[in-house]
Structure 1
Amino acid sequence: MPPASRIRRRGAPRPLASRTKRRYLAEVVASEKSQVIAHIRQHYKRALKRLPPSLIPRVAKAGVCIGFLDPVCNIIANTDREGQQRRGTMPRRARRLLTSYFRYLTAWEALYYLRRSRADLLVAVHLVEEDRATRGFALDHPITKVALACAARSAMHPRPDAFMPASVSLASRRRQMCSLLAPLRPISDVTAERISRMSEEGLQPPAAEPHQELMRLAAARTRAFTNVPPPVELQSCFEQSTKKVLMDKIHGFYLEAISRIPKTLLRSRLHRALLKAGHCYGPFEPVGNILVNTIWYDAAFPTSLELEVDMIRNESLAIAESCSLHGLVAFLRALGPEPDDELSTPGNLWNLLLHNACILDKCISSAPGLLRESSITEFVAYRAAAVAAYHPNPAALAHFAARALTPDDVQTISRALSRNNPPDKPARQVKELTPRASQIVAAIRKEFQAHQRLIRERVEAALLEHARMQGDDYEIHAICGVNTKIPDSRG
């Protein structure tokens, strides 16, 4: 228990240092917001100079700068002849789209990207994708539609449901919009009416994907902006977001690896090796490393105690994924950078892994400070990774990973994947549990199996319903990502 002097009464004021830090952080965020507002005001000034006099009073009703064109064109295109008074601040509207579209993106980070992009929403999307090493933007993607709808509602747009399809429709006609909204050319009432009709025509399927062309233009506009790093005060916020994005990527590696393991092997034996030692660091790409490390551990350290499972618990998979990240970071740290080196900080290493798809060879080649001088150094690095990842046998894993795989090794791995027979190696002896420990394990197993039966029944029912509605038959390979809050049949 902490000393009495360190216990703060409920409702008591926070310590001065904490209050000062929060106040200073609020000032930093306010500064970011004020700069975004200044950029938005400039966009409105340019738009007002080009709009016909009859439409200028309508800008305040629906002329938001949200959309898939540049900000000035968005304001002009969104200006409507009808609607109620708009409420809410413009930075909040654009910020809502970014935080709705990008997972783990905080409001503070969204403000930074809007400031860096000069309130150009598509440029901000491009900058986030660059920093997160993703290329997933598409006009017709469900996430894009949801994010745009959230932004429209946050902006108190008079017709939020019509705003999203209208924005997509105009973006898919970018070339026509460019000719209508040529730079510095005043907009006539006839042109405004034509844009209004185009917004109601729906998505136009062009020869090339419209989002690819839009993102190329956004990238071109990015080159005109200065690459300003985020404020130091918000650095930890950015690092935590990077870590979460990286963990999502690692989660995807595990799901792909699970899908590649034969169902009978996964359910009978390999689920144990996958969760205990199937880490994604090694000499190959992450999915290959997970498969190789899983099969090697099962062959090198088999067990006679098998448990047939259909479901892998979220918590167990999350632990394995977290161990993999610890191992990846430890491997890179062991290869070169000194403790006080800038590259050795967690945030920089997470970025390095994210931008190189967690492939260690790519990380090493893209970072001059990481050098492998000999196979001994590589062995030490793999052992450090295994220790950090809580591998059951770090030394054995390091010997296996640091050596080049021979044809016999490849044949052994292929044989292990192609049959459902346990390896010839004798099973490792397991210490006998005490009676009390045996009771606890038996109770946990019984509870897990009951929950597994419930989940399997519900998944099978959902698949049958899908087959009835869509005509597609699916077979359960493995169940992952289960919501543990699902009540049983009695609840």
Structure 2
Amino acid sequence: MALVPNPSQPGLRIYKPSFSYWYPSLEQDSESRSHLLHKVGAFYRKARKRLPRCQHRRPQGLCVGLLDPVSNIVINSLVFSRKRKRGHGSTTCDAVLQEDLERRSLDGLVAFLTRLFPNLAESLAVHYLRLADADALVAARVIVAHHGMKRFDDSEPAVLDMAPLKCAALAVGHPDPDRLVYAWRNISGRIDDALHLLACLHKPPPSRRSSIISKLTRMANNGPPPGCEEDVWWAWRFAASRHSRPCSDPYLHTVLLSRTLQDAIHGFYLQALAWLPAGSSFHRSLLKAGYCYGPLDPVSNIIINTIWYDTAFPPTMKLELDLDVIGTLGLHRVENRSLYGMASFLCTRYHRFDFHQALQCLVQADANLVLADPNLVLADPNIDPSTRYVLMICPPSAAPTSNVVEPQDPPDTSLEKAFLAAATAAFHPNPEAHVKLLTSCKLKSAFRLLHRRPDRLSSQDVKRLAMLLCPKSAHGCKRAFLPLPLTVYPRAKLAGMYTRISKKVNALLNAYAQMPNGDPKFELHTICGVNDRVSGPTSFPPKYGHSHVNFVATPKSPCGGAAALFFAEISNNDQDEESFCCHVALPPPCAAQIRCLYCEYIGTRIVHPVRIDFHGRESEFEKMACGKDPRNGENVPPWRAPYYSNSQIINNRRSFAENVYGRKKEDSLYDDLDEHKSVDLGSISIRQLFLEI
């Protein structure tokens, strides 16, 4: 991330994306791999001392598993494989076989980590394995700590399951990956007994070694006793005891901190959309000025900033069709701008912060600017300090516990300058007016009015907020909108696409749950995320089989209740029997999320279900691990780069995840609504922005 030169306002420290990231050089990667291969070789020498003599000459166990590397080798060597791996003749010397096994073990450890964590390149996985002495789960804990996923332990159980282990086995050509996963499921069902037997193997009496190995062999190859539940998280907790020393990393992985924050901020916008009235009346103002920074909690900031902008700078025209879909890429853009706005606020407010430190501060504060800077509240006696703890829709365990900046640390600049830096970094259409709002005493009353409702705002609530925030614009006036026709291309194309998605979502929602009288239990509120590039492309021009959709739905009367978030997988063809929808829980901030190959590739922040399979969840990652095309399972020729690979997903996602500039295709829907048109901000310099202020 780059600090923008700003000679006209030296006190403001404004950051923008730089698209330059640190990865290990080829020399560093090669040296780390050599070091790790030496470590893996030492693991095999230790494992041979614990195995029977018949296992010494040709060990077959990888060091990939859910325990420490030596125990993994022991367990994997006892797994009965139903298949025989071909390719090694009987005349191949043991040294060559051992060298190949050690290399495949290292490749398996890398594949395990890259399957577990999105945005983790292979070279970074090698880097972290070296920090953790080639222990994959210890390396995973280091990655979690260094990249701000402080609630990884609170993530859904499916986040840490057998999928990374199976992908690791597939990536290195294990003869029977399913059998390997089956063995580790058996071990998980009786982990206490397995750990006791493994401990006895350290220095067993010669007469007991064979008995211990026999028990472990039966345990790995026979199913667990009835009633035993699989809980892979024991491996995560057990790895903490092996992490005896802190792993210091000389390099800053700012990009992955940013990804953690972006997911947290996206959750705030989903909550704000659920509170705002349904329809597209506020989509324009939210996408242009509904930022999550301000002196209140993030969700309250989004709502108040949106309503204020809609009132202070109202549209003069209205779309002929009230669309219930908000543009996905435009939503991601305002989320990214909010992130850079908050980081620029902290770096301007406290000059001892650089961008990386500001992100660390925001991670600790759950992307809540008030929690990150207690002086933000103390600077204005008219704002109630209790507002910093409001709207905790996430579980209680997600609540931040402390401030990052000590209250006694004096700020280096005024609140006005810090908010001006935030508004400038976020490309607010009118930064000066926004600063006046954020530093006014109206927000205390607006906050109290906002939270009179336990679930969502009515149109009357919105009018009261508008009157309070901008009385001159909202006082006693009824807007007379001129209709904006949808016949102009590409507005007509977008409206048609949104209408098709809305019809399919409504059909799925109507069939999802019914009231006793047979009427649908839910009604569609807002479609807040669409990826129409799932399962493909399969031809040229590109065609995709499915779409992944997030939408908010509200219970109909008399059921009542808060809005709920849903996921839908929709067939892009007429085969609606392949489509489904289900309720999904919003993950807490700074926790891991369920992965989807197709949504990660395109860069959409879709919340996926935990216990329901969908296209892009497991089989596609398994095919990719084997070097096959996830779309059809065919082998990818060596001379042709795969369409989907870990590096391709990371590189393609980067352009979406860091975007704060330019127009999106859905911006054309809001052109000509007011004088603040969507323009390409990529060519506007910071100096020009200050001249406009």
| Interval of TM-score (by shorter of Structure 1 and Structure 2) | 0.7 to 0.9
Please report how far the alpha carbon of residue 267 of structure 1 lies from its aligned counterpart in structure 2 after TM superposition.
Answer: 1.3
Within the alignment, does 1:401 sit opposite 2:438 as a pair? Answer: yes
Task: Look up the equivalent residue of 2:247 and give its one-letter code.
Answer: N
Structure 2 partner of 1:366: 404
Q: 1:270 aligns with which of 262, 275, 282?
A: 282
- For the Cα contact (< 8 Å) 1:84–1:158, is it kept in 2? yes
Within the alignment, does 1:225 sit opposite 2:264 as a pair? Answer: no
Structure 1 partner of 2:302: 290
Please report how far the alpha carbon of residue 64 of structure 1 lies from its aligned counterpart in structure 2 after TM superposition.
Answer: 1.2
Task: Look up the equivalent residue of 2:272 and give its one-letter code.
Answer: A
Structure 1 partner of 2:109: 94
Structure 1 partner of 2:498: 452
Q: 2:212 aligns with which of 191, 206, 219?
A: 191
Q: TM-score, normalised by structure 1?
A: 0.78
CA distance in 1, matches of 2:357, 2:189: 38
Q: Percent identity of the aligned residues?
A: 29
**What's the CA shift string for 1:297-333, capped at 9, x where partnerless?**
3344443534422111221111111110110111011
CA distance in 2, matches of 1:476, 1:441: 25
Structure 1 partner of 2:184: 167
Question: CA, structure 1 residues 418+248, in 2 after alignment: closer, same or farther (shift >3 Å)?
Answer: closer
Task: Look up the equivalent residue of 1:420 and give its one-letter code.
Answer: S
* Residues 323-402 of structure 1: pairs in structure 2 closer than 5 A: 323-337=337-351, 343-344=353-354, 346-364=355-373, 365-367=403-405, 371-373=409-411, 377-402=414-439
Structure 1 partner of 2:333: 319
Question: CA, structure 1 residues 477+392, in 2 after alignment: closer, same or farther (shift >3 Å)?
Answer: same
CA distance in 1, matches of 2:336, 2:365: 18
Q: 1:136 aligns with which of 148, 152, 164?
A: 152
Please report how far the alpha carbon of residue 76 of structure 1 lies from its aligned counterpart in structure 2 after TM superposition.
Answer: 0.9
Structure 2 partner of 1:481: 529
Structure 1 partner of 2:223: 201
Task: Look up the equivalent residue of 2:505 and give its one-letter code.
Answer: V
- For the Cα contact (< 8 Å) 1:55–1:81, is it kept in 2? no
CA distance in 1, matches of 2:246, 2:447: 50
Which structure has more strand as a fraction of its residues? Answer: 2
Question: CA, structure 1 residues 252+460, in 2 after alignment: closer, same or farther (shift >3 Å)?
Answer: same
Structure 1 partner of 2:135: 120
Question: CA, structure 1 residues 204+309, in 2 after alignment: closer, same or farther (shift >3 Å)?
Answer: farther
Within the alignment, does 1:420 sit opposite 2:465 as a pair? Answer: no
Please report how far the alpha carbon of residue 93 of structure 1 lies from its aligned counterpart in structure 2 after TM superposition.
Answer: 0.5
CA distance in 2, matches of 1:242, 1:205: 40
Question: CA, structure 1 residues 286+185, in 2 after alignment: closer, same or farther (shift >3 Å)?
Answer: farther
SS in 2 for 1:442: coil
CA distance in 2, matches of 1:347, 1:205: 48
Task: Look up the equivalent residue of 1:163 and give its one-letter code.
Answer: L
Please report how far the alpha carbon of residue 218 of structure 1 lies from its aligned counterpart in structure 2 after TM superposition.
Answer: 1.7
Structure 2: segments with no counterpart, 5+ residues: 1-21, 86-99, 374-402, 534-542, 545-571, 575-693
SS in 2 for 1:357: coil
Please report how far the alpha carbon of residue 193 of structure 1 lies from its aligned counterpart in structure 2 after TM superposition.
Answer: 3.0
- For the Cα contact (< 8 Å) 2:23–2:123, is it kept in 1? no
**What's the CA shift string for 1:185-216, capped at 9, x where partnerless?**
34733323322333342598779x94554333
Please report how far the alpha carbon of residue 370 of structure 1 lies from its aligned counterpart in structure 2 after TM superposition.
Answer: 10
Please report how far the alpha carbon of residue 379 of structure 1 lies from its aligned counterpart in structure 2 after TM superposition.
Answer: 2.2
- For the Cα contact (< 8 Å) 1:173–1:204, is it kept in 2? no
Structure 2 partner of 1:16: none
Aligned positions, number: 444
**What's the CA shift string for 1:265-321, capped at 9, x where partnerless?**
241422222212211212233233223322333344443534422111221111111
Question: CA, structure 1 residues 400+24, in 2 after alignment: closer, same or farther (shift >3 Å)?
Answer: closer
CA distance in 2, matches of 1:458, 1:27: 52
Please report how far the alpha carbon of residue 179 of structure 1 lies from its aligned counterpart in structure 2 after TM superposition.
Answer: 0.9
CA distance in 1, matches of 2:226, 2:76: 18
Task: Look up the equivalent residue of 1:166 and give its one-letter code.
Answer: A
- For the Cα contact (< 8 Å) 1:123–1:218, is it kept in 2? yes
CA distance in 2, matches of 1:356, 1:206: 39
CA distance in 1, matches of 2:111, 2:159: 16
CA distance in 1, matches of 2:158, 2:70: 24
- For the Cα contact (< 8 Å) 2:24–2:127, is it kept in 1? no
CA distance in 2, matches of 1:23, 1:335: 31
Task: Look up the equivalent residue of 2:297 and give its one-letter code.
Answer: E
Question: CA, structure 1 residues 119+474, in 2 after alignment: closer, same or farther (shift >3 Å)?
Answer: farther
SS in 2 for 1:171: helix
- For the Cα contact (< 8 Å) 2:289–2:309, is it kept in 1? yes
SS in 2 for 1:443: coil
Question: CA, structure 1 residues 206+291, in 2 after alignment: closer, same or farther (shift >3 Å)?
Answer: farther
Question: CA, structure 1 residues 479+418, in 2 after alignment: closer, same or farther (shift >3 Å)?
Answer: closer
Please report how far the alpha carbon of residue 28 of structure 1 lies from its aligned counterpart in structure 2 after TM superposition.
Answer: 0.6
- For the Cα contact (< 8 Å) 2:190–2:224, is it kept in 1? no
Structure 2 partner of 1:108: 123
CA distance in 2, matches of 1:483, 1:129: 27
Question: CA, structure 1 residues 219+363, in 2 after alignment: closer, same or farther (shift >3 Å)?
Answer: farther
- For the Cα contact (< 8 Å) 1:132–1:354, is it kept in 2? no
Structure 2 partner of 1:48: 48
Task: Look up the equivalent residue of 1:201 and give its one-letter code.
Answer: G
Question: CA, structure 1 residues 392+218, in 2 after alignment: closer, same or farther (shift >3 Å)?
Answer: same
Task: Look up the equivalent residue of 1:214 and give its one-letter code.
Answer: A
Question: CA, structure 1 residues 443+452, in 2 after alignment: closer, same or farther (shift >3 Å)?
Answer: same
Deviates more, 1:174-183 or 1:328-337: 174-183
Question: CA, structure 1 residues 139+248, in 2 after alignment: closer, same or farther (shift >3 Å)?
Answer: closer
* Residues 237-252 of structure 1: pairs in structure 2 closer than 5 A: 238-252=253-267
CA distance in 1, matches of 2:281, 2:226: 51
SS in 1 for 2:258: helix
Task: Look up the equivalent residue of 2:72 and give its one-letter code.
Answer: N
- For the Cα contact (< 8 Å) 2:323–2:499, is it kept in 1? no
Please report how far the alpha carbon of residue 58 of structure 1 lies from its aligned counterpart in structure 2 after TM superposition.
Answer: 5.4
Structure 1: segments with no counterpart, 5+ residues: 1-21
Task: Look up the equivalent residue of 1:215 and give its one-letter code.
Answer: W
CA distance in 1, matches of 2:227, 2:291: 43
